[in-house]
Amino acid sequence: MPDTRKLRIVAAVVASFSLLIVAVLVLLVKHTITYQMALLMLIALFGLYFGFGVLIAVWRFIGKLE
């Protein structure tokens, strides 16, 4: 049986990422931000999630070494 704790964490990360993407797109559609701003925000959002994902993976790997 799959670990429900891990599935909940993955679901929360995917949901938060999706909600932030939707928020940026809503701002773009309402002309609150420009296309360039929206693109920059989406690239930064992807970079943050990717960067923190790498940091968490390295932290867990180092924890297993001890």
Res 18: pLDDT:
96
pLDDT band for position 65 (cuts 50, 70, 90): confident
**In angstroms, rounded to a whole number, what is the distance separating the alpha carbons of residues 15 and 19?**
6
- pLDDT tens-digit series, residues 6-61: 899 889 999 999 999 999 999 999 999 999 999 999 999 999 999 999 999 999 89
**pLDDT of 66 above 80:** no
**In angstroms, rounded to a whole number, what is the distance separating the alpha carbons of residues 41 and 8?**
26
- pLDDT tens-digit series, residues 11-21: 999 999 999 99
Closest by CA position to 49, among listed 20, 6, 8? 20
Q: Long-range contacts of range 56-63, CB-CB < 8 Å, 24 or more positions apart? A: none
